[in-house]
Structure 1
Amino acid sequence: MGDSDWTLIIESAKEVAGTYATPLSLNDCELSYVQIDERGTSVTMGFETPVLPSSPPPAWAHKSYNAVGFYVKFTRVKELRITGWDSSVREASVNLSSRDDGSLRVSVEAEGAHLDFVGSAPLLTRAHPFLRAQD
């Protein structure tokens, strides 16, 4: 499944997806956050994008923003593999693929870095608008 289809396999993302006229690709987003929780066997990934929704949620109506951020949490993580990862990884290619057992293979590739795992029950935990500093 391509990265632009991510909202089809992350049920809770459909509400955010409905605010965009065209599908929001994960590869149009910057990877801003990765948290690996070994106790809860979860991985939470944060993304930021300057692509703004064409029909923003009513709660965002009176806010000033030029970017949108959101977090996706994967639970029951197994087969976790990390190579060459550091805090500078932001531009990454993200691929989600469904497996026969209902889980997802998540693969993140960046220059000199790779993150790969199998997870279940992905959940969009938060979506929020914000003002991003201009370069």
Structure 2
Amino acid sequence: MSGSDWTALIGSTEDITDAYTTPPDLNACELHYTQIDERGTSVTLMLETTELPDKPKSARIGREYNTVEIYLRFTGVKGLKIDGWEAGVRDAEIIFTPQGSKGVRVSVEAARSRFSFEASESSLIRTRSYLSGKE
């Protein structure tokens, strides 16, 4: 599944689908954060986009911002495979493949960093907009 139609596979994406006519392409986002929790068998990805909502929530109207963070949590993770891990990797291709009724296979690939896993469930757990100092 391509990076632009991910909301069809990830749960609880209303914050994105209500704010964007077309959701941001995850492959155009920067991967800023990956948390692997072996105790809770979960993986959380935080991505940043400079693609701003075309239908912003009232809380965002009148506020200056140029970046949106997207936090995706995957639970019931199994089969985690890591092949290289380069600190500071930002540009990554993210591929979601449906697995059963609610499951998803996630592959994240960058120049010298690759990891993949299967998750029984997934959800958008948070979005946050802010004014970044990046030019």
Superposition TM-score, scaled by structure 2 size = 0.93
Shift in Å, 1:20: 1.4
Answer with 23-32 or 67-76: which moved more.
Answer: 23-32
Distance 1:39 1:69 in 2: 25
Q: Which moved more, 1:113-122 or 1:6-15?
A: 6-15
Residues 55-64 or 33-42, more deviating: 55-64
Runs of 4+ in 1 over 6 A off after TM superposition: none
Identify the residue that residue 112 of structure 2 maps to in structure 1.
Answer: 112
Question: Which structure has more helix as a fraction of its residues?
Answer: 1
Q: 2:6 aligned with 1:16, yes or no?
A: no
Aligned residue pairs, count = 135
Give the deviation of 1:101 after TM superposition: 5.7
Quick one: which amino acid aligns to residue 57 of structure 1?
A: K
Corresponding residue for residue 4 of structure 1: 4
Q: Output the amino acid matched with 1:35.
A: Q
Distance in 2 (alpha carbons) for counterparts of 1:77 and 1:47: 19
Structure 1 residues without counterparts, runs of 5 or longer: none
Displacement after TM superposition at 1:86 (Å): 2.6
- Bigger shift: 39-48 or 8-17? 8-17
Is the 1:68–1:127 Cα contact (8 Å) retained in structure 2? yes
Indicate yes or no: 2:13 matched with 1:28. no
Deviation (angstroms), 1:16? 1.2
CA-to-partner distance for each residue in 1:90-131, whole Å, 9 max, x for gaps?
100000010136411000000011010001211111101011
Which residue number in structure 1 is paired with residue 121 of structure 2? 121
Tell me the C-alpha RMSD between the 2 structures: 1.3
Normalising by structure 1, report the TM-score: 0.93
User: Structure 2: which amino acid aligns with 1:95?
Assistant: I
Task: Determine whether 1:54 maps to 2:54.
Answer: yes
Whether the aligned pair in 2 keeps the contact of 1:17 and 1:24 (CA below 8 Å) is no
Q: Sequence identity of aligned pairs in percent?
A: 43
Residues 1:85 and 2:85 are matched in the alignment: yes
Quick one: distance in 2 between partners of 1:87 and 1:17?
A: 31
**Corresponding residue of 2:68:** 68
Helix, strand or coil at the partner of 2:15 = helix
Tell me by how many angstroms 1:17 deviates: 2.1
Letter in 2 for 1:12: S
SS at match of 2:59: helix
